[in-house]
Amino acid sequence: MATAAAHQPYGTAEDTDGTGAYERAFDAAVAADERIEPRDWMPDAYR
């Protein structure tokens, strides 16, 4: 069972390469076919 905390990594929201840690974690969760909860962080375009 995934929790919202699993989709909210520590660190900065924006890295030097322009890809944020939150966005990378979100993309990894989607790629792994994990359940995305409404309160999990997600890009605005996904909402």
Annotated domain spans of the chain: 4-46
Phi first, then psi: give them for residue 27, nearest 5 degrees. Answer: -60, -40
Alpha carbon distance 42, 37 (integer Å): 9
Mean pLDDT of 7-12: 53
**In sequence order, which residues have a C-beta less than 8 Å from that of residue 46 and are 6 or more positions away?**
26
User: Scanning the structure block, which residue is given the tokens 């699993």?
Assistant: 6
Q: What pLDDT is stored for residue 47 in this prediction?
A: 82
What is the CA angle 16-27-31, rounded to 5? 145
Residue 46 pLDDT class (50, 70, 90 cuts): confident
User: What is the value of pTM for the model shown?
Assistant: 0.59
